[in-house]
Amino acid sequence: MTTSLREDRRCVGVFYHRRVEASRALAEALVAALAQRGAEARLLSAWEARELLEPRLTGLNWAVVLGGDGTVLRMAGILAERGVPLIGVNFGRLGFLAEVSPEDALAVIPILLDEPGRAEDRLMLRAGSATVLEPILHDGDDVVRAIGGPARQGAVAIALNDVFVGRGRVAHAVRIEVAVDGRPLIQFSADGLLVATPTGSTAYSLSAGGPVVTPGMRALLLTPVVPHPAPVRTMVLPDCSVIDITLRSDEESVCSIDGQRHYMVPSGTTVRIEAAEHPARFLRLGEPETFYQTLVERISRW
């Protein structure tokens, strides 16, 4: 029966983690179940090289992502600029970003073909530089593209959780200069500085001593990582802020995007971080849980 199929849900991408066999098996079962309900369901690897994956995203109305938070982070960035909402099925340990358990997926995911659910927008970050920043690691199977360029016209990197700017592999503090909206704010030495979204406040930022912020807030969190002097604390800025971070160090420094993509930052380079143009969109089912209820449940797994 297809009479009740929503027009904005006809085409769905089902993304699995290719190294998690149970993820692929469930993805195949979901594709079959969704197709039986009249949807065009595509079976896709979440960690396929981007140049191969992106052409297959054309026409998608929504997506199901099966994996841990790292897989959801990757797909959120890829899908956000296309306006494609996603719902996560948790195959990871914590699952802050994935609402559905594998045991419930076959029963609840097809409901979204007929029911509107709830769309939840999450603030994302964009990072760029007037200097070209070369990649130093691979993102899954991808060769990560350089970001930055003259007059800030080069490519930018998109993050859902956070952007870290600081020291690389050498245990040596870097000098950090921070300006906000073109005005100098603070200078200090540290292992680095983390700029996080409210979504990322429960990730690296929390481990670094930052506050927990509800995902619906429109804010940017600046958290120094092992600062010297120690009294330098987290700063919370409005999401309209433009943050320029300049690093000075005799050793290798890096810019890390969601802990997945990493770029070399030469001494004296300024990295600009601000809110991204497009938010990540998550589909939610049923009555909204309170953020704090979810937080307590997830923290109990640590």
CATH of the domain spanning 7-122+280-299, picked from 3.20.20.70, 3.40.50.10330, 3.20.20.120, 3.90.79.10: 3.40.50.10330
With contact defined as beta carbons under 8 Å apart, do 93 and 71 qualify? no
Query: Mean pLDDT for the chain?
Result: 89
| Structure confidence by residue, pLDDT tens digits, 128-173 | 999 999 998 655 545 567 887 765 456 789 999 999 999 987 778 9
Return the pLDDT at 114.
86
Q: Was domain 125-275 assigned CATH 1.10.40.60?
A: no
With contact defined as beta carbons under 8 Å apart, do 116 and 6 qualify? yes
Using a pLDDT cut of 90, give the percent of the chain over it: 69
With contact defined as beta carbons under 8 Å apart, do 197 and 160 qualify? yes
- Phi and psi at residue 278, to the nearest 5°: -110, 135
Catalytic-labelled residue, pool 69, 139, 244, 258: 69
C-alpha distances (whole Å) from 166 to each of 157, 169, 218, 245 are 16, 10, 25, 10
Domains 7-122+280-299 and 125-275 share a fold: no
| Structure confidence by residue, pLDDT tens digits, 191-200 | 999 999 999 9
* C-alpha 131 chain-centroid distance: 23
Regarding pTM above 0.85, the answer is yes
With a cut of 70, say whether residue 105 has pLDDT above it.
yes
Return the pLDDT at 300.
62
Return the pLDDT at 1.
27
Whether the bond into 238 is cis, omega within 30 of 0: no
Kindly report which listed range (1-15, 102-116, 193-207) carries the lowest average pLDDT score: 1-15
69 noted as active-site residue: yes
Domain residue ranges in the chain: 7-122+280-299, 125-275
Kindly report which listed range (1-10, 37-46, 131-140, 233-242) carries the lowest average pLDDT score: 1-10
| Structure confidence by residue, pLDDT tens digits, 274-296 | 999 999 999 987 666 666 676 77
Q: What is the mean pLDDT of residues 163-188?
A: 93
Residues 6+ away with beta carbon under 8 Å from 45: 15, 16, 17, 18, 53
Question: pLDDT tier at 187 (50, 70, 90 boundaries)?
Answer: very high
With a cut of 80, say whether residue 4 has pLDDT above it.
no
With a cut of 90, say whether residue 84 has pLDDT above it.
yes
With a cut of 90, say whether residue 258 has pLDDT above it.
yes
Q: What is the mean pLDDT of residues 118-122?
A: 90
C-alpha distances (whole Å) from 170 to each of 142, 162, 245 are 26, 21, 20
